[in-house]
């Protein structure tokens, strides 16, 4: 059974299932709306998962993943406190995006505003058919502050993100998959199950390779082509020097490892 994280004021549950950590947003009566204290609870859970697991899943308790920022808290903040709060969200979400283990988000119902920003910090997003996506900041008189202008814009493009923010457009899981913001779409009620399957698969990878994919790949994407190719050579050479890689390559050459097969080949 999942347990409340110590010091998290009940905001987050944590469960270790094999080599996969399950982090549950646990404020269902508020549609898991995020506050600064909630972000700190997420931070504690991510740190624990990074120490104990090889992959993680972030999901929401109740019908919704996360309806975004808790506006009742945000409206009371002085200007500089709001700046510091946003920068703290950036730092915490960065430990998910560029940490030591990969994360999957299981998305249901509202994945809105800050909830979409949190999902965008995970490496893979699994949405069921109930999930819907929106960035209503334009209608609220505010602006994204949890990294969305970088992470979401890079997933779906700044023009599409601008459309969502300017018009209040709401997208279904299928539409968001077409736009590139969702990786997998499942039938209703299956997002968490599929997310755990994906995370379990990632947990079998070499730890250094997972780390390189999380940390090197997005940085290479920000480089010039020539710089990116140079960085790729360095990371590729480092990866082959690990004991894990040597063991896995030896197993493949000795025909003890499964070969890659086309879809449907069994």
197 belongs to the catalytic site = no
Structure tokens at 72: 């009742």
Enter the CATH code of domain 207-253: 1.10.12.10
In the prediction, which pLDDT does 263 show?
Answer: 78
- On the CB side of 58, CA atoms within 13 Å amount to 34
pLDDT digits (tens, 9 = 90+) for 116-147: 999 999 999 999 999 999 999 888 888 999 99
In the prediction, which pLDDT does 44 show?
Answer: 97
Q: Which of 137, 177, 188, 207 is catalytic?
A: 137
In the prediction, which pLDDT does 71 show?
Answer: 77
Neighbour-count burial of 45, counting CB atoms closer than 10 A to its CB (0-12 exposed, 13-18 middle, 19+ buried):
buried
In the prediction, which pLDDT does 87 show?
Answer: 96
pLDDT digits (tens, 9 = 90+) for 24-82: 999 999 999 999 999 999 999 999 999 999 999 999 999 999 999 887 776 677 888 98
- What is the arithmetic mean of pLDDT over 189-216? 97
The domain limits of the chain are: 3-203, 207-253
Contact 96, 50 (CB under 8 A): no
- On the CB side of 94, CA atoms within 13 Å amount to 8
pLDDT at 221 > cutoff 80: yes
Structure tokens at 212: 């390189």
Contact 132, 173 (CB under 8 A): yes
137 belongs to the catalytic site = yes
End-to-end CA distance of the chain: 34
Beta strands in the chain (DSSP E): 3-4, 12-17, 20-25, 55-60, 103-107, 110-112, 124-128, 132-134, 171-172, 184-186
- What is the arithmetic mean of pLDDT over 230-254? 84
Q: Which of 15, 73, 117, 193 is catalytic?
A: 117
DSSP string across 58-101: EEESSS-SB--B-HHHHTT--HHHHHHHHHHHHHHHHHHHTSSS
pLDDT at 83 > cutoff 50: yes
In the prediction, which pLDDT does 253 show?
Answer: 72
pLDDT at 265 > cutoff 70: no
Beta strands in 131-241 (DSSP E): 132-134, 171-172, 184-186
| pLDDT bracket for residue 4 (50, 70, 90) | low
- What is the arithmetic mean of pLDDT over 158-185? 97
In the prediction, which pLDDT does 260 show?
Answer: 63
Percent of the chain whose pLDDT exceeds 90:
78
Neighbour-count burial of 217, counting CB atoms closer than 10 A to its CB (0-12 exposed, 13-18 middle, 19+ buried):
middle
In the prediction, which pLDDT does 8 show?
Answer: 54
| Mean pLDDT, rounded, of the chain | 92
The rounded distance, in Å, linking the Cα atoms of 119 and 106 is 8
CATH 1.10.3720.10 fits 3-203, yes or no: no
pLDDT digits (tens, 9 = 90+) for 178-193: 999 999 999 999 999 9
Tell me if the pTM is above 0.85: yes
């Amino acid at each position: 059974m999942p347990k409340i994280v110590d010091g998290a004021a009940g905001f987050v549950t944590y469960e270790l299932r094999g080599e996969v950590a399950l982090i549950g947003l646990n404020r269902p009566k508020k549609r898991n709306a995020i506050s600064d204290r909630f972000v700190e609870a997420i931070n504690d859970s991510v740190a624990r998962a990074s120490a104990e697991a090889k992959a993680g899943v972030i999901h929401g308790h109740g019908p919704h993943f996360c309806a975004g920022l808790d506006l009742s808290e945000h409206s009371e903040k002085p200007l500089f406190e709001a700046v510091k709060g946003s920068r703290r969200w950036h730092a915490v979400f960065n430990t998910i995006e560029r940490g030591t283990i990969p994360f999957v988000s299981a998305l249901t119902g509202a994945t809105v505003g800050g909830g979409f920003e949190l999902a965008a910090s995970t490496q893979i997003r699994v949405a069921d058919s109930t999930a819907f996506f929106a960035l209503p900041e334009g209608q609220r008189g505010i602006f994204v502050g949890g990294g969305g202008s970088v992470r979401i814009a890079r997933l779906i493009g700044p023009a599409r993100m601008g459309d969502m923010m300017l018009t209040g457009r709401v997208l279904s899981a299928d539409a968001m998959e077409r736009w590139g913001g969702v990786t997998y779409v499942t039938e209703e009620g299956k997002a968490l199950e599929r997310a755990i399957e994906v995370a379990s698969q990632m947990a079998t990878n070499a730890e250094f390779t997972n780390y390189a994919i999380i940390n090197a790949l997005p940085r290479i994407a920000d480089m010039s082509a020539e710089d990116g190719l140079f960085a790729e050579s360095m990371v590729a050479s480092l990866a082959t020097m690990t004991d894990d890689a040597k063991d896995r390559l030896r197993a493949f050459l000795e025909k003890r490892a499964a070969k890659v097969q086309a879809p449907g080949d069994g």
